[in-house]
Structure 1
């Protein structure tokens, strides 16, 4: 996962290894709070990597992690591994879950799902990508959608 962020908040990343990694730059005093909140909301299967300043948990916790982080910060960067050569198809655009590794960087993922799929309740801006350590990463800024739309529940 890329090691730096334009936003000074924890940034979750969906790795190709099947994990959700939460990088926590320069906010060491908040690790315990984030871990405590993960426990509170039922995400008890996490690992703290002190050297790397990262938390690893299940990919299924993405909605919970985004909601917890956007309670503390106005926006977070969501990072995900993707494959440049994998074309975006109708299957991606109709998807309900958050799993996406195609070249759209998840910009179109779930866009045609009846309830916007996993994006319901979120506004996403600034789709971009970087190539680091032999991996392509899609990066998008995620923030809660205006209150006129319901936020995802935990």
Structure 2
């Protein structure tokens, strides 16, 4: 009986509260020059501004450019970033005249997701956003994402 009382006092003194990871959803459509951007890889990460960004989800758009991703917030306010691998910008070409893959980073204000009952719609025109030729962390994320898929038995959330 005393142990239970002591535990209750300690927990209230430290304002301890256990929170499960809360799920949220981001969905929308990717376009390039107004046309659906199908089969485009999207990586959703919790941006920690370090080498240890947390992979929340990864998907490819369907043939109509639509995507739907579910993530889990392990903190009340997290910084979310979508990294989109695409070849929408024609000025980036390889030596063979083939369009080069480039990357667009989009930061999402988590408070906007919270305001909409943890569901957020995002329609993205890739031409309107700047691109990078490479992101050093992307290859590490891709390996980790593939490893996570193997651990989950080939299933993605």
TM over 0.5: no
Name the TM-score, length of structure 1 as normaliser: 0.27
Greater C-alpha radius of gyration? 2
Pick 1 or 2: higher relative contact order, CA cutoff 8 A, min separation 6: 2
Name the TM-score, length of structure 2 as normaliser: 0.27
Flag the structure with higher strand content: 2
